[in-house]
Amino acid sequence: MSKSRDYTDKTIKRLFGLARNKCSFPGCEKEMSDETSALHSNICHIEAAEEGGQRWNSNMTDKQRADYNNLILLCPPHHGVTNDESIYTVDVLQKMKKDHQLEMAKRIDIEKSFSKRPSLITEVINKISTVDIDELESLPVKNSFSIENKISYNNVVLNKPLLRSYGVYQGKINALYSELERAGSPKKQAVLKIIHHFYLQSQGEYLNGDNTLTNIRKNADKLIDAVCQKLHEAIDDSANNDLSITFEELEFGISIIVVDGFMRCKILEEPANDS
């Protein structure tokens, strides 16, 4: 198997889980697999797996090509339809994937699930905070701007619906962090350090040494997605991998924490002022 098709089990589970086992093409309700087979599913590359394929990007590594962020789940007919590069660009397919996942999340009423299980975010924070952060330095937090101002300032496009939808939970994160601090727990600092560390790592991977605001704006969505991916990997690789939560719940928890990190300027750049 080509390394660009060497998907990890975690990637496949996350892809099928967040797509709710349905084709991601708008209006398609085709089930991707049943009890006996997955013949109706295609794991499709947004940017081609091999040179000569649709939307080939020579700057990607094979690991990035096989990564969750570069994959979309489609039924065979719609896989064929999206081969038309003039219509189905990288941006179009990325937006298609995100829109489908947000729609699937609404159907399962993740907020209701969260209200029944308020410890969910605590569990996710506990897992993230186990990552070694001894050499990471914390930065001062300034929050004198609105979420819309920061979205606009950094030119976030594909992740705009996620930031808007989950921004309302920042108060819950603040309350949880306050409880942890009152109890003498360093987990808030640990999580924020890790998020910022992953953001700096992502800059190194995607900005090619050009850390100007212009280049950050150009790659804003990729940087957010990369931080989310690294958090998933950190949790998956942690010593006590015994979370009894679903992939949907885990995605929800990580998304809320990433949005909070976005507002605390651990991810992307702080606006010059709030317009």
Nearest 10 degrees: Cα torsion 174, 179, 183, 184: 0
pLDDT of residue 210: 95
DSSP string, 115-139: HH-TTHHHHHHHHHTTS--TTPPP-
- Between CA 22 and CA 43, with CA 41 as vertex, the angle to 5 degrees is 100
In a domain, 273, yes or no: no
Domain boundary among 107, 142, 170: 107
Whether 124 and 100 map to the same domain: the answer is: no
Whether 117 and 101 map to the same domain: the answer is: no
Buried b (16+ CB within 10 A) or exposed e, 88-118: beeeebbebbbebbeebbeeeebeeebeeee
In a domain, 269, yes or no: no
Whether 62 and 115 map to the same domain: the answer is: no
In the chain, DSSP assigns E strands to 42-45, 71-74
In a domain, 274, yes or no: no
Domain boundary among 107, 123, 149: 107
Whether 123 and 245 map to the same domain: the answer is: yes
Q: Is the pLDDT of residue 133 over 70?
A: no
Phi then psi dihedrals of residue 161, to 5 deg:
-60, -40
Indicate the pTM of the whole model: 0.73
In a domain, 240, yes or no: yes
Q: Is the pLDDT of residue 203 over 80?
A: yes
Dump pLDDT digits (tens) for 64-121: 899 999 999 998 899 999 999 999 999 999 999 999 988 887 776 655 665 665 566 6
pLDDT of residue 38: 44
Total domain count, the chain: 2
In a domain, 13, yes or no: yes
pLDDT classification of 4: cutoffs 50, 70, 90:
confident
Instruction: Provide the domain limits for residue 53.
Output: 3-107
Whether 257 and 241 map to the same domain: the answer is: yes
Whether 149 and 259 map to the same domain: the answer is: yes
In a domain, 30, yes or no: yes
Domain boundary among 107, 140, 172: 107
pLDDT of residue 93: 96
Whether 125 and 178 map to the same domain: the answer is: yes
Whether 132 and 180 map to the same domain: the answer is: yes
Q: Which of 163-167, 224-228, 241-245 has the highest mean pLDDT?
A: 224-228
Dump pLDDT digits (tens) for 134-159: 444 443 445 568 889 999 999 999 99
In a domain, 79, yes or no: yes
In a domain, 268, yes or no: no
Contacts of residue 201, Cβ cutoff 8 Å, sequence gap at least 6: 226, 230
The single-letter code of the amino acid at 118 is: P
Whether 55 and 190 map to the same domain: the answer is: no
Summary mean pLDDT of the chain? 81
pLDDT of residue 94: 94
**What's the full length of the chain, in residues?**
275
